[in-house]
Structure 1
Amino acid sequence: MFNRFIYKFVLSVLVTFGIPGVTLAQSNTIVRGIVTDSLSGSPLQFASIYFKGGRGVISNKDGSFTLETSNMKFKKIEASYAGYKTVEFSISPGVDQSLNIALVLADDDNTVVVTSKRRIKYSNKNNPAVELIRKVLEHRDENRMGGYDALQYELYEKMIVSLTEKPKITEKKLLNKFSFVFDGEDTTSFEGKKLIPMYMEEKLSDIYRQKDPTRRKEYIKGEKKVNLGEFIDSRGVSQYLSRMYEDVDIYQGSISLMSNQFLSPISQLAPTFYQFYIRDTIEENGQQFVKLYFTPRNTNDLLFRGTMYITTDGRYAVAKVDMTVSKNINLNWVKDLKISQRFEKTDNDKFILTQSNVLAEFALTKGSKGSIVGERALSFKDILINKPAPDSVFRGQEVVNVENDASQTDAYWNENRHVPLSTAQSQVYANIDSLQKMPSFRRLMDWATVLLAGYKAFGPVEVGPVNTFYSFNPVEGFRGRLGGRTTPKFSESLYFEGYLAYGFKDEKFKYSGSASYSFNKKSIYTFPQNFVRATYQFDTQIPGQELQFVSEDNFLLSFKRGVNDKWLYNRTSKFEYINEFGKGLRYTLMFKHTGQTPALVDSNGIAKSGGIRYLNVHGVDTSFINKLTISEVSLELRWAPREQFYQGKTYRTPIFNKYPIFTLGYTQGIKGLFGSDYSYSKLNFRMFKRFYLTTLGYSDVVIEGAKVFGTVPFPLLSVHRANQTYAYQLNSYNLMNFMEFVSDQSVAVNIDHNFGGFIFNKIPLLKRLKLREVASFKLLYGSLSDKNNPANNADLMPFPFTYQKTGSTITGFERNTYGLGSTPYIEASIGIANIFKLFRVDAVRRFTYLDNPNVPEWGIRTRVKFDF
């Protein structure tokens, strides 16, 4: 051992001082060669050659390979190829050597074939198909459309929604007059099915794209769509379909469809979630391709299966892809989904997308006979590569409409559409237009609107919404309400809206009336909004719920847990101007004058059952404040880039995408203006963003902040949104009591994550149920400065409290409202979604402020949501 030590020491000294002739250099093991077919001698591309027990390479298009390692332990290599016998060779470590390999077919006469029911275990290791997809990944950026320095093309887009069979209800005497709409059939779009087109839209555009800086410009030359009439938001339908059938880029790591993200087979994670197999090498038009089959490892995951054709010229580009989804996929209502894309060779020998088709079939159940088929087809022509457009082309808005009157004619579309329409498709425009003009159809849609939107039309007036006709609460008991509004039939510019309600317990009428003037002669509810409105209202309200995203005047939300005695009577006059304009920008200017009176108190200000008191305390003297008067002006800015939504009668249903939504608001209270009691300022900020995590689902993240400047009583502080219903509310704190917390500065983080079945899809019994895991985390951190804390400022009215009594004797009191302290409010939940494809159930846990009176630590909350 001592001799070995001396030897190493002397050797290291010689090397260190550079003694001539002494070197420790060590040669790598290098194996070069060609893989061929043993019978024909033809080179085999994509054969796997690897060190036994180590990594390897795949052969090039001429069958050549070079395998190298610095590890001297490898003394053997193996070569394999689909359909051939695997062979093994001995090699010399540390030597650069040549080795030509001739592979023998597995079904050669000299080969004994053994069959077995046992499935061969799939492995990524030494798999030529996996090596091939990794080569495609290496060349992904240079092959995708966004990889060109500049790109120009004409884009033709067609969207069609069809039925697979004529509805049987049209055979009824009442509806058989509508049957002409269902007479045309298209047998060319969906193999094995007859489609009856019901909706179609077409668009023809010139597209300009640039890589550095990244820019895109679209000039719409023609646009035509089926007119769905006043009962359905055609713009919303178009946006909803566009969100469901987004552009498919096979080179993207993830592909958005049906408001979900699918992992692309060309993704860094693809070898982990997919299995790949080389099926064949084929030749078309003098070009060789490898036919590569891919399939999900787990058929419940949001993955594809299908075939892609990859070039063998060293570019590893996709020339054709056809893919679908598994019948077991955790995707609601989708019976079938097919994607087909074709690429053509350009002058620079690259392959570029020229045709893309996405077709999805929807049904209530997999076995449903009747279904709906949606199809989006794209065609690219007149493609110019790497010929930059002038900067003037990209100025202004990203999308510009340059169509003229001729673009609405049949002659224009017959000449310019890239693909002719089928006979049934060409009739859909005229059929739906005729249907819209039929009085009987309009009456049918009128009653359907009552069921879906809650409004019934009577000429120029609509009555509703139906779900507010009856509700109840501790102040009013049973509450009846009747409301209505005018429509564009009354006036295209002037709109009136109002309601009358009556509480049978407090025996008071509540009412609201508003008048609006639209500057763009559109309904004040439709995009783009540009109107001024004046409103006068007297009604009940729970403090802190004015920013709520659901209406309390709703029967289902009348059911509440715990003590629900924090109510106000508000008498409000409001004047506002709302303007929406390009690029998702909107601003709201508002003046509001409010008189607040606590409810659930008698004429002397004494609470009937807890409730809110407005008290004026001076030492031992206490007086009751019957009303708080507030006058304020505010400005709110909202930016929602590339926002998409479906426009209902009085609401918008957001179609969330990857873009954030920002809201910034400023409010100024003015003391003395119309008797206002206080002067103060408020600043609010909100950011919403949906983060897509591909195989792990998506997260909805909300960040909020608020700051109150000035000295104000507790009703004018930030009263944090609470929820005492049994419904799970995304934007509220579900285990916080009404008016439990106030602050004059705060920041909040709300994360709601949907795993999309990532865990349940891998559990044998559960994956059949198509359940999805959900989790949420909500943190609210804030503080209350001494100047706004009644405990430190005797000039402020005290927080609400409840008297504790023994018989008729008051023995103490219990606080109900608290200022947020150094400890944040935290709640979280885990739950199961997609129960019966509709329901979500969460187990909610509250972690802080558990000593506050009447607060729950745990709760079960439900939510109804229609989702794919």
Structure 2
Amino acid sequence: MYTNRLPFIVFLLVVSVCWAQENDFIRGKVLDSNTGEPVVFATVRVMGKAKGVITNMDGSFRLPKEYMDATDSIEISSMGYESKEVSRALFADNIILELKLTPALLVLDEVIVKERKRRVLRGLTAREIVHKAIENLPLNVPRSSYSYVGYYRDYQLYNLDYLNLNEALIQIFDRGFEHSDYETTELGLFSYKRNSDFLIDTIGLKPYDYKSGHKTISDAFLDSYGGNELVILKIHDPIRNHDKNTFDFVNVFQSDFTRNHTFNREEDQILDGSYLYHISFSSSIKEWDVKGNLYITKDSFAIHGFEYAVFYNTKRINNGIDLLFETKLEYKRKEGKMYLSYHSMNNSFRLVKPPKLKLEQTILDFNRNQLVLEFTNDLEEESALRLANYDIRFNGQKLKFKAIVHIGNEVSLIPDVQNKRTRNLFRELIYSVNSDKIKSGDLIVDIKNVKDENGNVVNEPEYENRKQFREFFVQELQLGSTTIPRDDFFMDKGKPIFVDQPIKRPENFSDYWMNTPLKSIED
């Protein structure tokens, strides 16, 4: 959670060669027919089955061959696009089938247009629509127990490449709207893996550290509530946690959201042939701008989609970062109630990496009466030969040098023995080293502005901006049972998902699969 430390987040068919053979799966990629851009978070459903997947950030998806071999087609749908069926016969092994969705057009006949105008004149402003959606939450979300099985993952994104990808199949048991999600919802782990096919960076895997500053979210603090990554993600769902302080500026959704934002009514959106209210909202406090969207059904004022992003405003871009935090979630109707379809959350963070140029060792050359500094890389000549860049002190007193020699990654400092104090200090240093009496801290070597041949400055750390993602995609909604089973396989929500958690696979475990993305968004 971001606390108040920040007052705040027609089909055209093309085929391409698959980057790796996956004998058990077929792959596809959903693109916008006009722009060619990926259609992110589109629903891909196997016809005749109650299961499906959500497209990845690159628009890709994968489906088990055994499911595809048992069906004639799949259905793809996404907000603002025409839903389409795609024949199973178009898919083949070891290729990625590119499917281009057509944007839906808002075409209304004259009677409907007049009716819409009358409705607007009667009053539903953007704020009133949002008020009604919040008021109707108890009617639109399930009050009784249910469960759903889904694919969870967390990863980092750097230069369009996925890093440190963790994946899991998880069943979530929810007691319903009137029960606390954090306190009463149970999580059952079917399987997990740290995907070694993707780059693993141990520095990026370290926890956030605000004391050393080695890994931080600039100007924000991510509170875990004592939970693991999935628990953190679930807390940032303001619909399920409507009466809890989720994140700024949403705060408590049912009481604070409409006070903290301004709203505008945009052109209606289409999903599966139905029209939805599209409400954009914004807020601006100090250095941050908030932008977002709500998609609300017209018949019952049920919230179908929620998008929320916090940006640095144009007056201040922090370390090259403009987007600080973003969350997107979608709900779908089933038997008259709205159930989660997917939830994606990401935040920018800064990683401090070790300097590329460092002083490796300091050597006292007795034969030449020189102090030799050995660096990790070959040095750039001009900065290496500047005496002002070296401050060498022994027992708190500064040594003076009259000359400097640079060869490769070494710098030899020649003391000014004509200076009596320096001559005596250097003799004392030699004696201390020879007699093994020198102690840590006696000799202080302070170097600044020295560069290597690639322009790296000595002891200057590297700063790397990345994005951290946590995502959950529902594969199957289960409404048959109204009670949560008593079992010992439930996850310890206070421990990491991937460390010493109980695992229990159901008999139909093969019905679920991990929708692993391609290694790069550009693949």
> TM-score under structure 1 normalisation?
0.27
- Does 1 or 2 have the higher relative contact order (CA < 8 Å, sep 6+)? 2
> Rg bigger for which structure?
1
